[in-house]
Amino acid sequence: MALPLADLYNTPDERNLLDTMKQGVIGKPLDRPEGPLKVSGTATYSAEWKRSDCAEGFLVLADIAQGTVKAIHADKVLAMPGVVAVLSDEAMIRRSTQGTAGEAPAQDVHTVDYFGQPVALVVAETFEQAREAAQALEIEYDAAAEPVPLDPQSPDAKIEEPSDSKPVKGGDLDKAMREADYAIDVEYDTPGHASAAMEPHATIAEWDGDRLTLRGSYQMLAFNVKEMADCLSISPKHVRILAPYVGGGFGSKLGITHEAVAAAIASKQLDRPVRVVMTRQQVFQTVMRRSETRQRVRLAADAAGKLVGLGHEARVSNLPDEDFAEPVTQATEFLYGGENRLLKVEVARISRMTAGSVRAPGEAVGMQVLEAAMDELAQKIGMDPIELRKRNLPVKVPVEGTPYSSRKLVEALEQGAESFGWDKCKTEPCQTRNGDWWIGMGVASAARVNVMIPAKARVTLKADGTALVETDQTDIGTGSYAILGQIAGEMLGLPMDKVDVVLGDSELPPGAGSGGSFGAISTGSAVMRACEAIRDKLAKAMGCKAEELELQDGSARHGDARQSLGELTGGKDIVEVGSIKPGKTFKDYSQASYGAFFAEVGVHAFTGEVRVRRMTGAFGFGRVLNAKTARSQCLGGMVWGIGSALTEELAFDVRDGHLVNHDLAEYHVPVHADVPALEVILLEERDAAASPLQAKGVGELGICGAAGAVANAVYNACGVRVRSFPLTLDKIIPHLPDPFASPA
Ligand code: MOS
């Protein structure tokens, strides 16, 4: 069979190659090769690079929401100790593109579009000097004559259709709602979120003539190089980015941010390296946010609990000229049936920092609301919520008619239920009381689209019989180093200590980058294909067909013939570049990863405090490349889900739009005490349409619906249905049942 090595992935690769290999490293829960460096503090993160003669820059943020910069009084500050420059007239310091689609918005150097937007950079010999000077810098503003609203629900907010998506319409939803045996029409709110990556944004820029090198924290290097080149009007060939270790991104490092542009401009001007590190507060104030949403969900079901109508409409927000619109209904399109449909997103144009991708854009907030509404429907019908979901899985995607590539949702619901002990769940709320705590259980489905991004990777089988994998792919804590090494090790028959992986340098072949759960399947497929090409050459040298070649522990076998890889290479390195691009399989099949969440919570009968007591997630995302890193991704997602359900919320001051909770003390991500033992079940699955690896994305799957399970458990515990996330005490207390009443 000819190797389907064309760039475009047009035909599902059914050969299932990885399962035919002999090394046995793929899928194993192997440790990350870079783990020891990270836990011992010796992995070099962006701000930690030592560069001689490096100046330090500190961003100055606008303290008005909208207006123009009238004057920047730099003189006083320039006289302060150690200060070398104040940069204020560069538009791109104010609005870097942050990974939104399309061209960077046209810049007006004088405008301020949101509170906290960077307007200047102060550079000094030390960080402390730069910070002190930045705090002393006087800036005069003119307030905007016609400011855009601060709040997406303002009657003055301009409402637009997203530039990249149209509503999905089918049948007559209004009629279906009127005639349904059971109908749910509810409105939910979700707040804005911060990515809250552990490592703050930081860049060290230096120039060598007209060539710029950035050491920093980014997710998608090939894309980031282009953005930076655009910002500076230089050739992308003159930009190199190094990001071997990234302390989390969660979307906030998909695009370049202000500190990178500011550092590059300052370094050019001063002709020396410049480092700009954002403080935690600056990261919160200027780096993109997840949009808050208001979602209306309509569910119309017949007497048997089958959906005949499904509506999901959302209002999200962004700055007036930004393209991104939180794709709230992304998974609703394919998850459940209901021929009468209306799915729609609208964008309110407001003055808050750029809205963009944060931890599963679309599904994270869309699924948690849809799954809470499904629970409301199950309650209304009096049907087990798992049964309701199982009854509503379409054979083909509604309206579009596309088949599913693979879908382990039923298995996830059933195996998760079994392991969690769902049979002990009481259908009616307020049935279980443990001391001062109401106890309840909730379930929700998980779904997240599978995405492939064009990717390349270079693999070298060296004359000494070891292998080297090289791509600009980043590892943002996800396990890229581990899984890319495992793919090469499996394909070339090498134990892990014979495979080196070098990542995070934009001069290496461009991988997919890290984002949208696409890194592993995209760049992993490129690595696999490079290895296939190497196997072809080895087979030729061995005098056999590639599929007859057995590679294991550094030796090649065909029948009785046996040679070491070192001998087979004939003393020469074999170098191949593998490449993949999404093709027809992405049009022919609806591709998504699926799963199910089960949560048990306690709700305090007097205070309304919610504690998650235990949680189970069961997930099917095609082949598991590394059972440890994949499980960690799922765990992380479930932790985000707990945060989204109970604590996370960006709070903006209604008077001037400033972000009130701009640090980790006030913006509450779940901490250890908030997270109980989490159980993760990885389901066996292969999906040839999704990638030659037969794997789908897993990075963000663990959040997509998780908060819904928690909210449903809260209802099951105490009978309080909160339609505004997060479920804080103040929203629960007024509706709690009499705390002295005994369980019904
Ligand atoms: Mo992701 S939010 O696309 O990094």
Which residue out of 253, 289, 354, 357 has the highest number of ligand 1 atoms within 8 Å of its CB and is therefore the one to mutate?
A: 357
CB of 361 closer than 8 Å to CB of 449: no
Q: Running DSSP on this structure, what letter comes out for residue 47?
A: G
Q: If you measure from the C-alpha of residue 518 to the centroid of ligand 1, how many angstroms do you get, rounded to a whole number?
A: 9
Pairwise CA distance, residues 372 & 393, whole Å:
17
Distance 428 CA to ligand 1 centre (A): 38
Which residues, including other chains, have CB under 8 Å from residue 303's CB and lie 6 or more apart?
A: 181, 182
254, 324, 633: residue to mutate for ligand 1 pocket, most atoms within 8 A of CB: 254
Do 341 and 168 contact (CB within 8 A), yes or no? yes
Give every CB contact of residue 330 below 8 A, 6+ residues apart in sequence.
362, 363, 366, 449
Rounded distance from Cα 638 to ligand 1 centre (Å): 16
548 C-alpha to ligand 1 centroid (Å): 40
Overall pTM > 0.75:
yes
CA-based nearest residue to 717, from 431, 498, 389: 431
Q: Which two tokens stand for residue 189?
A: 């709110």
CATH topology for 50-146+196-286 is Aldehyde Oxidoreductase; domain 4 (3.30.365)
Angle (CA) 703-706-710 rounded to 5° is 150
User: Is position 160 annotated as part of the catalytic site?
Assistant: no
Coil/strand/helix, residue 631? helix
- Output phi, psi for 717, to 5 deg: -70, -50
Residue identifier of the C-alpha nearest atom 4 of ligand 1:
251
The tokens of 176 are what? 């279906």
CA of 219 to the centre of ligand 1 (A): 9
What region, left, alpha or beta, does residue 479 occupy, with left being phi > 0 and alpha being psi -120 to 50 degrees?
left
| Residues β-bridged to residue 678 | 615
User: pLDDT value at position 715?
Assistant: 98
Q: Which fold has domain 362-451+588-735?
A: Aldehyde Oxidoreductase; domain 4 (3.30.365)
Enter the tokens of residue 252: 């906030």
Q: Which atom of ligand 1 is nearest to the CA of 195?
A: 2
Q: Which of 196, 248, 65 is nearest to 663 (CA)?
A: 196
Among 376, 490, 649, 700, the one annotated catalytic:
700
Can you tell me which residue has the tokens 């002190």?
Answer: 132
Position in ligand 1 atom list of the atom nearest CA 254 = 4
Cis peptide before 726 (omega within 30 of 0): yes
Per CATH, domain 8-30+454-581 is 3.60.20.10 = no
Give the per-residue pLDDT at 3.
47
Radius of gyration of the chain (CA): 27
CA of 360, closest atom in ligand 1: 2
Q: Which atom of ligand 1 is nearest to the CA of 251?
A: 4
Nearest CA-CA partner of 54 in 185, 156, 203, 167? 203
Distance CA 348, CA 352 (A): 11
Q: Peptide bond preceding 361: is omega within 30 degrees of 0, i.e. cis? A: no
Backbone angles phi, psi at 580, to 5 degrees: -150, 150
Q: Pick the atom of ligand 1 nearest to 252's CA.
A: 4
Structural contact between residues 204 and 275, judged by C-beta atoms closer than 8 angstroms: yes
Residue given tokens 């449903």 in the structure block: 712
CA distance 443 to 352: 34
CA–CA separation, 75 vs 85, rounded Å?
A: 10
| The two domains 8-30+454-581 and 50-146+196-286 share their CATH topology (first three levels equal) | yes
Domain boundaries, the chain: 8-30+454-581, 50-146+196-286, 362-451+588-735
Q: How far is the CA of 290 from the centre of ligand 1 (A)?
A: 11
Q: How many angstroms separate the alpha carbon of residue 257 from the centre of ligand 1?
A: 15
Query: The tokens of 480 are what?
Result: 């890229």
Question: From the CA of 396, how far away is ligand 1's center (Å)?
Answer: 28
Give the per-residue pLDDT at 407: 98
Identify the segments of the chain with pLDDT beneath 50: 1-4, 99-102
Beta pairing class for 574-582 and 610-620: unpaired
- Describe the crossing of helices 519-542 and 480-492 by its angle, rounded to 10 degrees: 20
| Beta carbons of 460 and 564 less than 8 angstroms apart | no
Residues with CB under 6 A from ligand 1: 219, 249-251, 254, 357-359, 361, 515-516
Tokens of 617: 């997630």
Q: Which atom of ligand 1 is nearest to the CA of 518?
A: 3
